[in-house]
Amino acid sequence: MKIVAIIPIKSKSERVRGKNFRKIKGKPLYRYLLDKLKKCDFDEIYVDTDSKKIAKYCRENKFKYIKRLSKLAKNNANGNDLLNYHQKLIKADCYFQLFVTSPLIKVSSINQCIRIMRKNKNYDSIFTIKKIFSWFWYKKNPVNYNPKILPRSQDATPVIQETTALYGIRAESLKARKCRIGKKPYMFELEDSEVIDLDNEVDFQYLKYYVKKLSHSSK
């Protein structure tokens, strides 16, 4: 069974300028995930980018390089568009998509997701989640509790958040659904420390703090 990873990395970003190249403790963001993937159990790793700097890094580190199509570098292109295009280029049994804006996911979590897709045919796809224990409303209606019966927040029915760190899907399901999540997905829960999606300056400040804390604890 051939399982490949594909990492989309744009050279430009709207909300945080140059975020994929921002340095955290002297190391550009895109390398945090790519360096971890060297230790993962993928058969092949591809990087889809329009950046010459990242393309050079890929060649020097034996990642396979895909030049980003201009139409897929636009802001209206999404993860499904990319994965459907990649399936036409790459022959594999299972496709994983990971993002450098979720740099805290652990190698052990990635490898566990790979093992699930290799060994369990009951699932056609997998994606990472976080369970949030709190009280939620949608518009004017409670989602997961009765306001007349106030449970402790930790006892509330959790709301499941898609973390956007990792997606994996079997080739036949991707071809049929044109979507990175199939009909029978496995929802893989990450630890709180792994869940971050860098989308604004506050997220970057948290990441800097967390990486600094990790470096001190390892001394």
Read off the pLDDT of residues 152-170 as tens digits, 9 standing for 90 and up.
Answer: 878 888 999 999 999 999 9
Read off the pLDDT of residues 189-212 as tens digits, 9 standing for 90 and up.
Answer: 999 889 988 888 888 888 888 888
State the amino acid at position 100 in one-letter form.
V
The CB-based long-range contact list for 194-197 (8 Å cut-off, 24+ gap) reads 194/102, 194/104, 194/105, 194/106, 194/109, 194/165, 195/102, 195/104, 195/130, 195/163, 195/165, 196/102, 196/103, 196/104, 197/99, 197/101, 197/102, 197/163, 197/164, 197/165
Cα 178 to Cα 31: distance, rounded to the nearest angstrom: 29
Confidence of residue 213 (pLDDT cuts 50, 70, 90): confident
- Residue 29 backbone dihedrals phi, psi, to 5 degrees: -50, -45
Query: Got the DSSP string for 27-80?
Result: EEHHHHHHHHHTTS--SEEEEEES-HHHHHHHHHTT-EEEEPPGGGSSTT--HH
Q: Over pLDDT 90: what percentage of the chain?
A: 69
pLDDT at 75 over 80: no
Mean pLDDT of the chain, nearest integer: 92
Can you give the pLDDT at residue 215? 66
CATH architecture of 3-129+164-217: Alpha-Beta Complex (3.90)
61-65, 186-190, 206-210, 215-219 — which is least confidently predicted? Answer: 215-219
pLDDT at 219 over 70: no
